């Protein structure tokens, strides 16, 4: 009998910055109820920074106003209603939030909870954007100003006959993120994201934003023989238009379920966890076929003069 799990993704539409925390939590709770209505779901996946707007899209000078976007104890009182629902239903839930530690260190974080028990915490490693406001661009991304680089590495946890890892948004574009998880035996990775359609400075990529989203996650799934669960916050939030495209991707690289909107929407799938082991045994057998002794440039600090510039005409 194969190992199976029922996973649901809650894609969110925009969270306006003037919506109260309470209003947003009520919305999340209703969606959690929808996602678990079948009484079979084991895990519900919400996006990056799911409790608030994606505030790095604008400058906030006032520290009190800024700190209102972070949780300063985990679990926080603001998370409590969702965690109570998780406990009542016996369903695990993962979502992203801004984390402010007791030492005032700020992270873009995601946790996996079952009830109020935190099973896993990940702090975003690949922070895009800038640490100062950029003039003359359509929208800001100030993640480097509002967060530090995650300091927890790429942790995994055993849950329900499988091993799970978490990534956050831009982490999904970097092959090393998935490989760090798969080398530790993760068979399932949950990834929340907020991805604007427009990328300042590379506007030529704007028509490819959905494609790059799927390309990155499908490649991550296939090349690491893992289930990849992507959860978007889509639609126009505070003037920034973001993709939806939330999806559940099998270890063979195929999308098995996908959102059709860029607003609040729930998708789900029954997943065969043994598929991961089959692909890992026969195609991506890390023990037999990887050659880490030849990959030193990936793990060592970059030598002077690298990366070598491409020839320009």
Using CB under 6 A as the criterion, which residues of the chain lie in contact with ligand CDV when the complex forms?
A: 48, 128-129, 141, 169-170, 173, 193-195, 199
The one catalytic residue in 48, 143, 187, 237 is 48
Task: Output the smallest distance, CB 97 to ligand CDV, in A.
Answer: 13
Angle between helices 21-35 and 80-89 (to 10 degrees): 20
Q: Which is nearer to ligand CDV, 98 or 115 (CB)?
A: 98
Give CA–CA dist 141/129, Å, rounded. Answer: 5
48 catalytic per annotation: yes
CB of 198 to ligand CDV, least distance (A): 10
Which of 169, 190, 233, 265 is catalytic? The answer is: 169
Query: In this complex, which beta carbon is closest to ligand CDV, that of residue 5 or of residue 15?
Result: 15
Smallest separation (angstroms) from ligand CDV to the CB of 82 = 21
- Residue closer to ligand CDV by CB (options 36, 170) is 170
Helix (H) or strand (E) holding 240: strand 240-242
**Angle CA(111)–CA(59)–CA(140) in degrees, nearest 5?**
80
- 111/194 with CB nearer ligand CDV: 194
Q: How far apart are CB 128 and ligand CDV at their closest, in Å? A: 4
124 is catalytic: yes
Task: Give, for 287, the enclosing helix (H) or strand (E).
Answer: helix 286-289
CB of 132 to ligand CDV, least distance (A): 16
Indicate the residue among 187 and 237 with the shorter CB distance to ligand CDV. 237
Q: Give SS3 for 129.
A: coil
Closest residue by Cα to residue 179 from 141, 102, 125: 125
> Considering 124, 187, 247, 265, which one is annotated as catalytic?
124
Residues noted as catalytic: 48, 124, 169
């Amino acid at each position: 009998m194969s190992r199976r799990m029922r996973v649901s993704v809650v894609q969110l539409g925009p969270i306006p910055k003037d919506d109260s925390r309470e209003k947003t939590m009520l919305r999340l709770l209703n969606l959690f109820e929808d996602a678990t209505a079948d009484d079979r779901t084991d895990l519900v996946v919400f996006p990056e920074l799911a409790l608030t707007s994606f505030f790095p899209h604008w400058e906030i000078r006032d520290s009190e106003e800024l700190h209102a976007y972070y949780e300063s104890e985990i679990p926080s009182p603001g998370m409590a209603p969702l965690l109570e629902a998780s406990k009542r239903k016996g369903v695990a839930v993962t979502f992203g939030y801004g984390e402010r530690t007791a030492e005032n260190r700020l992270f873009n974080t995601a946790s996996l909870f079952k009830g109020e028990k935190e099973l896993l915490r990940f702090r975003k490693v690949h922070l895009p954007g800038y640490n100062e406001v950029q003039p003359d661009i359509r929208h800001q991304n100030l993640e480097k100003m509002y967060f530090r680089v995650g300091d927890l590495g790429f942790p995994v946890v055993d849950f329900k006959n499988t091993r799970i890892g978490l990534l956050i948004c831009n982490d999904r574009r970097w092959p090393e993120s998935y490989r760090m998880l798969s080398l530790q035996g993760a068979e399932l990775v949950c990834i929340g994201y907020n991805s604007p359609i427009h990328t300042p400075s590379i506007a030529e990529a704007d028509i490819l934003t959905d494609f790059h989203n799927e390309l990155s996650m499908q490649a991550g799934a296939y090349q690491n023989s893992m289930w990849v669960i992507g959860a978007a916050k889509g639609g126009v939030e505070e003037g920034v238009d973001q993709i939806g495209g939330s999806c559940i991707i099998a270890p063979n690289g195929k999308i098995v379920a996908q959102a059709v909107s860029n607003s609040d929407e729930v998708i789900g799938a029954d997943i065969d966890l043994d598929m991961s082991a089959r692909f890992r045994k026969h195609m991506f057998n890390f023990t037999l076929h990887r050659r880490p002794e030849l990959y030193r440039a990936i793990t060592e600090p970059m030598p002077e003069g690298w990366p070598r510039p491409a020839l320009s005409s």
